[in-house]
Structure 1
Amino acid sequence: MRRIIKIAPMHKLIKRAGAARVSEESAIALSEILEEVGLKVAKEAIDFARHAGRKTVKARDIKIAAEKMLEKVLGR
């Protein structure tokens, strides 16, 4: 599968989190994970939009889907 999220921003993100150095493998891994999570959130958001009778996915759909996913992961 073709990568959607580029690697360079992953290096910057990991450094912003406090890393002194970032390996290429870690940047690639983060990119893959964020794409996977992003797709799951987007699919859930599409369901919310459809349920509301809309074809357009709005920011609130994404936010609700992300919160729902985090609740599952964090057990809240």
Structure 2
Amino acid sequence: MGELPIAPVGRIIKNAGAERVSADGSEALAVLMEEFGTAMAKEAIKLTRHAGRKTVKSVDIKMAAEILK
């Protein structure tokens, strides 16, 4: 099991407009969110190091998201 709790992921799906969400649907999205989040974090770390910093900032995350689109 991953880091993201399943219930909040289910709420995200419901907030997007689903009437009902299965546990395996929530779990599948959580796995994909973790995979994408990890990839984005790794890209943000590269950007942070390139800028000569140790602290990942919001600008690094936003730039990483643009790169991974």
- When normalised by structure 2's length, the TM-score is 0.97
Match of 2:54 in 1: 55
Number of aligned residue pairs: give it: 69
Report the counterpart of residue 38 of structure 2 in structure 1: 39
Partner of 2:67: 68
Whole-angstrom CA distance in 1 between matches of 2:61 and 2:52: 16
CA distance in 2, matches of 1:4, 1:63: 22
Cα drift, residue 30 of structure 1: 0.4
RMSD between aligned residues: 0.7
Q: Which residue of structure 2 aligns with residue 27 of structure 1?
A: 26
Q: Deviations over 1:23-72 (max 9, x none)?
A: 000000000000000000000000000000001000000000011111xx
Q: Percent identity?
A: 52
CA distance in 1, matches of 2:59, 2:23: 34
Instruction: Note the C-alpha offset of 1:3.
Output: 1.2
Q: Distance in 2 between matches of 1:29 and 1:67?
A: 24
The residue that corresponds to 1:74 in the other structure is none
* C-alpha distance in 1 between matches for 2:23 and 2:66: 30
C-alpha distance in 2, partners of 1:46/1:8?
Answer: 29
Flag structure 2 segments of 5+ consecutive residues without an equivalent: none
